[in-house]
Chain A
Amino acid sequence: MGKGFRWVSLALSLALVWTVTACGGSTPEGDSAGDNKEVEIFSWWTGAGEEAGLKALIKLFAKENPEIKVKNAAVAGGAGTNAKAALATRMQGNDPPDTFQVHGGSELNDSWVAAGKMEPLNGLYEEQGWKNKFPSELIDLVSKDGKIYSVPVNIHRGNVLWYNKKIFEENGVEPPKTFDDFFQAADQLKKKGIIPLALGDKELWTATHLLETVLLGKLGPENYNQLWTGELALDDPKVKDAVKTFKKMLTYTNKDHAARNWQDAAQMVAKGDAAMNVMGDWAKGYFTTDLKLKPNKDFGWVPTPETEGSFMVITDTFGLPKGAKNPEATKEFLKVLGSVEGQDTFNPLKGSIPARVDANPDKYDEYGKETIEAFKHSKLTPSLAHGSAAPEGFVTGTNQAVNSFVTQGNIDAFVKTLKQHFKQAKK
């Protein structure tokens, strides 16, 4: 064997070592044990309003904790779906971010908590005296077996119907309160050549979002909640009736809905290409921050038909995963997140309302003030489309079934599929 062999193998192993190490310079975290001088915040807040809110929050945190560096690990795209995928892989590889955005409810409890990946935060709640600062139903949503696993930072309302004020005024249309109102208004607008309802279901969850508001309206909050506990079957005649209404609403939507995402659909209302849009109130942030529209002047809002008194709640929360590199620094961040000042810094920019009951309503715009009130006096219902009502497996299955239903319109087949998915997911 020639010495050359040694040379080549040396070169090759050097090369491999170089690959692994030299480029290491571009990867700051590696497996470095945390020294609590940094906190990595994982979220999908990359849109204009939410990004501004997050940055303001980080700024506030930096002012109070100048020694801790913040790493903003926001993952763009897909209203959180991209981020959730990245998170899942990181969690499985025991490389969790220090804290991450997760919707309260099933998305937190049936996955991360059930998998034993989260640290309980009861101590933090005690220390900060938070237990009576958040509504108890909300704490229930982030708890399992008496242990609290995350800190809610905001509340979004899912059942909001947005409308273009100018179009409504010009055509003498009143904001609809019932489904009959809705269809009457829609017919009237359609005759004038205006698209009554904007939909953008390129990302599948948006159609599910519309469906759940119809379910809530038609079934009422009690029956709606029973769907997810299994007390009301998904092929119940009442559900079928709601699906029928959903199907009828779809006939009033824009033809190119499958090429648009939710912002594209909201934009149609903003530009006057469509009259109405059903979307969570993050759409308000999009209207005011991105598109610079004036609330109650350029656009108006009402609860979706027949859901007055119900509040489809979507809450973004942050927890502490087991194996986080900087648990102490993370707790400092969670403290700021759960404080009145933190919530009142973040939420006005994001367009959501605070999760705390003692936040200052004066910091919020007209919509915010109204919603803070509604939040206090409504029945809370968890959102299916946003993972609070049922396990991820069922949400995925539902999204697929809805995507087919929007085109096919076969009600019996649809509820049958839902029921099957539900059975599988609960198994």
Chain B
Amino acid sequence: MKPIKRSRTGTVPEFHSQTGGRIDEKWVGFLLLLPSLAAVAVFVYGFIGWTGAVSFTRWNSLVPDWSWAGWENYLRLFGNFRFQSDLRNTVVFTILFIAVCMILGLTLAVLLDRKLKGEHLFRNIFIFPMALSFIVTGVVWQWIFNPSTGVNLFLGKMGVEDPPVWYVDTRILPGVEWGEIQAGIPLALIPVVIAAVWQLSGFTMAMYLAGLRGIPDEIREAARVDGAGEWQVLRQVILPLLRPVTLSVIIILGHISLKIFDLVVAMTGPGANFVTDVPGVYMFEATFRGNHYAQGAAIAVIMLVMVSLLIIPYLVSNMRKEADL
């Protein structure tokens, strides 16, 4: 097939403005939106419904089987060692990732806000990982934390006898028995958290920096006049004002981390004893490797529920706020 070549600007008819029909204009606006609305209705909501339906079927082989399975797929998942590990890993990963990003991002933002020399350069260095793909990040960091390359070569040269094995460490601290799994922090996740922090703490910094720049100097000055030290100004004046930014950061980083997939695939895979597995990877493998479509759909639905718990209250309150304006 040949591309339809037509100069788009060439065929533009001269514009004759029409008077009247002003009442129609909002209706025209709606019509303009309609293709997008329809696309979102089908591709987001319709497909979510479809996935939900699949998750209640017995379609767990190559051939679609639409017979009703009830909650079978979900019940099986929640009793499953791998899925329980995934939930633990997601919670641990999300908390560590957001916490470290926030601390690092806020620190860097506060430092940069002091108008130091070279601010521009530093800012650019901190943000550039955002331009990279999680795949590139994963490829590089998996080399750095590979037990036989990267950091360990360095440690070996410095005479460290028994270097850590990083992302293949199977220890879980403190490792309390809980259901089928051990609850706690899987040590193998820490390198993955570091890679994710590397990628997104610059973004966090940019958010905070924008927030800081939005705070008028007079407010700080007023606090200083009242005799507050720099630290107190920061804690008692600046941080409370940054609360909306913190909320945004939590929402953005949280939804990224709850659905993380590419970074884990590129860096570690599911890992020994599933210490670095996440629902995104399990969904992919169950669906596209094991041909367990219903199972995969159930995992996807659970992922969606987790993200929704975070996002929907935020979206709704945002909408209300705008309506009040």
Q: Is B52 an interface residue (CB 8 A)?
A: no
Among the interface residues B61, B285, B288, B289, which one has the most CB atoms of the partner chain A within 10 A?
A: B289
Is B28 a contact of A22 with CB atoms below 8 Å? no
Is A115 a contact of B62 with CB atoms below 8 Å? yes
Is A404 a contact of B81 with CB atoms below 8 Å? yes
Q: Is A11 an interface residue (CB 8 A)?
A: yes
Q: Is B178 an interface residue (CB 8 A)?
A: no
Residues of A within 8 A of B271 (CB): 258
Is A7 a contact of B13 with CB atoms below 8 Å? yes
The CA of A3 and the CA of B12, in the complex, are separated in Å by 10
Interface residues of A in 311-364 (CB under 8 A from B): none
From B4, B11, B64, A18 is in contact (CB under 8 Å) with: B4
Is B272 a contact of A258 with CB atoms below 8 Å? yes
Q: Is B199 an interface residue (CB 8 A)?
A: no
Q: Is A400 an interface residue (CB 8 A)?
A: yes
Mostly, the A contact residues are helix
Is A1 a contact of B21 with CB atoms below 8 Å? yes
The CA of A241 and the CA of B4, in the complex, are separated in Å by 69
Q: A22-B3, A92-B62, A202-B269 are in contact. Are A1 and B28 (CB under 8 A)?
A: yes
Is B6 a contact of A14 with CB atoms below 8 Å? yes
Closest Cβ neighbor of B85 among chain A residues: A404
Is A406 a contact of B269 with CB atoms below 8 Å? no
Is A11 a contact of B8 with CB atoms below 8 Å? yes
Is A393 a contact of B4 with CB atoms below 8 Å? no
Q: Of the 9-residue stretches B117-125, B165-173, B298-306, which lies at the interface with chain A?
A: B165-173
Interface residues of A in 91-140 (CB under 8 A from B): 91-92, 111-112, 114-115
Q: Of the 9-residue stretches A35-43, A82-90, A143-151, which lies at the interface with chain B?
A: A82-90
The CA of A266 and the CA of B199, in the complex, are separated in Å by 34
Q: How many residues of B sit at the interface, in one of the four size bands?
A: 35 or more
Is A407 a contact of B32 with CB atoms below 8 Å? no
The CA of A112 and the CA of B286, in the complex, are separated in Å by 18
Chain A interface residue count, Cβ-Cβ cutoff 8 angstroms: 49
Is B63 a contact of A115 with CB atoms below 8 Å? yes
Which residues of A come within 8 Å of B, CB atoms? 1-8, 10-12, 14, 17-18, 21-22, 24-25, 30, 81, 84-85, 88-89, 91-92, 111-112, 114-115, 201-204, 255-259, 391-393, 396, 400, 403-404, 406-408
- Using A14-B8, A403-B274 as known contacts, list a sample of 16 further A-B pairs with CB atoms less than 8 Å apart, ordered by residue number in A: A5-B28, A14-B6, A21-B1, A21-B4, A22-B4, A88-B291, A92-B62, A111-B62, A112-B62, A258-B168, A259-B146, A391-B61, A393-B292, A396-B286, A403-B272, A407-B272
Which residues of B come within 8 Å of A, CB atoms? 1-4, 6, 8, 11-13, 15-18, 21, 24, 28, 31-32, 35, 60-64, 81-82, 146-148, 165, 167-168, 170, 268-274, 285-286, 288-292
